[in-house]
Amino acid sequence: MRASSIKRSLGVDLTTKIKESRVLLVGAGGIGCELLKNLVLTGFGEVHIIDLDTIDLSNLNRQFLFRHEHIKKPKALVAKEVAHNFQPGAKLEAYHANIMDRQFNVGWFQTFNIVFNALDNLAARRHVNRMCLAAGVPLIESGTTGFNGQVQVIKQVRSVYTPALSDEARTNDIREKPSVTTATPKPHQNHSLFAPFGPRRHSPSIASQLFGVSEDEEAELDMTENADNAEEIANLKKEADTLKEIRDSMGSDDFAKNVFKKVFETDMERLRGLDAMWKEREAPKVLVFDELQESSASINLPNSNADQREWSMEENLVMFKDSLDRLSKRLKELQLKKTPDDPEPILTFDKDDEDTLDFVTATANLRADVFHIGRTSKFDTKQMAGNIIPAIATTNAMTASLCVLQSFKVLQNDLSNAKIVFLERSGPRAINSEGLRAPNATCGVCSTVRGALSVTPSATLQDLVEGVLEPQFGYNTQEMSISTDQGVVYDPDMEDNLPKKLSELGITNDSFLTVVDQDDINQDPRVNLEFWIVEQTEPTEGSKPVMVQTLDIPRRKKKPVTPEPDVASVTNGAAGTGKRKREGEDELLTNGHVAKKVAGESAKNGDEDVVVIGDDEGAILIDD
Ligand SMILES: Nc1ncnc2c1ncn2[C@@H]1O[C@H](COP(=O)(O)OP(=O)(O)OP(=O)(O)O)[C@@H](O)[C@H]1O
Ligand SMILES: [Zn+2]
């Protein structure tokens, strides 16, 4: 019944392709569980699942294949078992392993029709990306943070750089030119799944004034007097003295009161006095310590059950005093333990440190009231101050289904209609998409030409450099370098390495090496060449120590060439990408982009040596 309705909606052709395909799912976490269920229910014939982790209690709220009794068991194995119940006919294979292990080599990747990434870290994503590009297998990359999701098809259709299409040109519309639809991701943003959402830790300024700045540091304030700034300096001095006085009262009963009065009374009175600031906005409130103290006399300290509700002003005051007391004691203790050589001890904010979180919550709430802003619960403060981005089950579910929709395009070889899909909550539409992009000549990932390098156990670096790269590809041995994942093994200053065996240099079966052309004086350098090593145990008759099929290695053009007319005449059909279009480019996005790039920007791009597209988890760095 289910199978027949799928056939009716997808058609016989696609249904057959789905049934006959063998796919790999990397990661059985939030997206992975959803995706596995989708793949199995859609009728994918063979699904291999790999995950290195075991199930944790905290996974259960969204990784719905897992139940309490599965805790501590390998994710991949449990996911396989549970998904099998959905579709007993499906062929499932599970690996409790790291996808970065050598055993999962290029040859193994080549056995799949599609690879789905459902990972949570940069290193593994980047690794799978490289393996898929080397294996020539389409990769469907996905990721979520909070309400945002992204799905992207990555496939190198042709490893040739096409200078007429800039990296940013939308190739989805170029239906009549499938040969340039090299569907590799765009650097800067879209090798990355997400802009960096890394944790940023701010010490609230009140806290840093009390617990974070040593007296030495403060003494460094420039106190040189002159007529112009005399008044300002006098004020600064006064302020410093006041703070010192307050700090000196730390440990006494008056400390919390002194801090409160300074921050919420004195400073706010002064701020209210700056009339010009409050013409358009409501002036801050002054909180009167004695009043709040009185009304909170019989109020208890909010306990841990009160984490999820907003505290009253009285409760915030009680918490303010209590947490300040706890922090003061901690600082005093640190000061007592300090030897003369130690730096002045400080306390820093950590969302998992209850004392600091209590203090920040209470202080932020008092301050919010001063500025007529709503208060937040301790729970919400922890999310905000700790920059915690929640994993949301529905985002994962939507993202996983978008992955499956993209896989249909891949299976039908309809890459010109495949999309990079963005799921977002802000903005007019939840789902936006763009076409795939052409490779960027300056991007180390997508302009690279890849091939297999067949080597015998006795092959030397010289066999590679002088036996293959120079005669077969025309590299100038004085203007090139070769590196492995461990580092450079050859450049013109490293001729000593030439007689060494490749295996001695770490160039062994299933490893990778990159050849970089540095000859930019005589001509445009070639794009990078990446080989994966296939070791031949038995050298065959007449075979050379190092062999490789002939590859066409284009050069990185520094000067743009005129775009081909049919590229420029294609109209823009990209739906829902309004937000991403730049102003003035809306009309003809595709050709506008090409024209603009050719006119100005691509020359600039051509000079970039390193393309950095984000440095946080989820992003991918590309060294050219
Ligand atoms: N190198 C790797 N090889 C195999 N599986 C991996 C690798 N790196 C990460 N994973 C798996 O990818 C999955 C990512 O899923 P998800 O982002 O939901 O992570 P999680 O660890 O389950 O959840 P959270 O990070 O929110 O606690 C995890 O199950 C993780 O074990
Ligand atoms: Zn790229």
Complete DSSP assignment for 331-358: HHHHHHH--TTSPPP-----TT-HHHHH
Which residues belong to CATH 1.10.10.520 in the chain?
Answer: 205-348+352-385
Cβ of residue 29 lying under 6 Å from some atom of ligand 1: yes
Q: Say if residues 387 and 200 touch (Cβ distance below 8 Å).
A: yes
Neighbours of 45 (CB within 10 A): 17
Q: What is the pLDDT of residue 597?
A: 25
Cβ of residue 28 lying under 6 Å from some atom of ligand 1: yes
Q: What is the pLDDT of residue 280?
A: 86
Average pLDDT over residues 472-492: 93
Give the domain 205-348+352-385 fold: Arc Repressor Mutant, subunit A (1.10.10)
Q: Whose CA is nearest to atom 25 of ligand 1?
A: 120
Best of 31, 48, 49, 51 for a ligand 1 pocket test (most atoms within 8 Å of beta carbon): 51
Q: What does the chain come to in residues?
A: 624
Q: Distance, CA 17 to ligand 1 centroid (Å)?
A: 29
Q: What is the pLDDT of residue 389?
A: 75
- Write the DSSP symbol of residue 210: I
**CA gap 381, 204 in Å, rounded:** 12
Average pLDDT over residues 175-194: 30
Buried b / exposed e over 149-178, threshold 16 CB at 10 Å, is bbbbbbbbbebbbbbbbbbbbbbbbbeebe
Average pLDDT over residues 263-290: 90
Angle at 621 between CA 620 and CA 624, to 5 degrees: 135
Cβ of residue 53 lying under 6 Å from some atom of ligand 1: yes
The gap from C-alpha 232 to its chain's centroid, in whole angstroms, comes to 45
**CA gap 502, 256 in Å, rounded:** 69
Q: Whose CA is nearest to atom 24 of ligand 1?
A: 59
Cβ of residue 75 lying under 6 Å from some atom of ligand 1: yes
Listed residue (389, 394, 430) closest to 146, CA to CA: 389
* Among the ranges given (55-69, 252-266, 485-499, 604-618), the one the predictor scored with the smallest mean pLDDT: 604-618
Structure tokens at 68: 């309490």
33 is in an annotated binding site: no
When computed from its CA atoms, the radius of gyration of the chain, rounded to whole angstroms, is 31
Burial bucket for residue 37 (CB in 10 Å: 0-12, 13-18, 19+):
buried
Which residue is associated with the tokens 């015998």? 456
Cβ of residue 59 lying under 6 Å from some atom of ligand 1: yes
pLDDT in tens, 500-536: 999 999 999 999 999 999 887 777 888 889 999 999 8
Cβ of residue 54 lying under 6 Å from some atom of ligand 1: no
Coarse DSSP helix, strand, coil percentages of the chain, rounded to the nearest 5 percent: 40, 15, 45
Is the pLDDT score of 141 beyond 60?
Answer: yes
Q: What is the pLDDT of residue 176?
A: 23
Q: Distance, CA 487 to ligand 2 centroid (Å)?
A: 22
Which residues belong to CATH 3.40.50.720 in the chain?
Answer: 2-156+184-194+391-429
Best of 35, 48, 119 for a ligand 1 pocket test (most atoms within 8 Å of beta carbon): 119
Q: What is the pLDDT of residue 281?
A: 87
Is the pLDDT score of 204 beyond 70?
Answer: no
Average pLDDT over residues 486-498: 94
One-letter amino acid identity for 494?
A: M
Which residues belong to CATH 3.10.290.20 in the chain?
Answer: 449-547
* Among the ranges given (153-157, 221-225, 267-271, 377-381), the one the predictor scored with the smallest mean pLDDT: 221-225
Which CATH number is 449-547's, of 1.20.1440.230, 3.10.290.20, 3.30.9.10, 3.40.50.2000? 3.10.290.20
Is the pLDDT score of 97 beyond 90?
Answer: yes
573 is in an annotated binding site: no
139 is in an annotated binding site: no
Q: Whose CA is nearest to atom 2 of ligand 1?
A: 98
- What is the percent of the chain where pLDDT is above 70? 76
What are the start-end ranges of the H helices in 11-74?
12-20, 30-42
Structure tokens at 65: 């294949």
Q: What is the pTM of this model?
A: 0.64
75 is in an annotated binding site: yes
pLDDT in tens, 356-373: 999 999 999 999 999 998
What value does the mean pLDDT of the chain take?
Answer: 78
Element (H, E) at 55: none
Q: What is the pLDDT of residue 509?
A: 93
pLDDT in tens, 292-303: 999 999 999 998
Q: What is the pLDDT of residue 220?
A: 44
**CA gap 361, 353 in Å, rounded:** 12
Average pLDDT over residues 570-577: 30
**CA gap 325, 322 in Å, rounded:** 5
The CATH homologous superfamily of the domain defined by 2-156+184-194+391-429: NAD(P)-binding Rossmann-like Domain (3.40.50.720)
Comparing 119 with 207, which gets the higher pLDDT? 119
Read off φ and ψ for residue 140, nearest 5 degrees: -110, 110
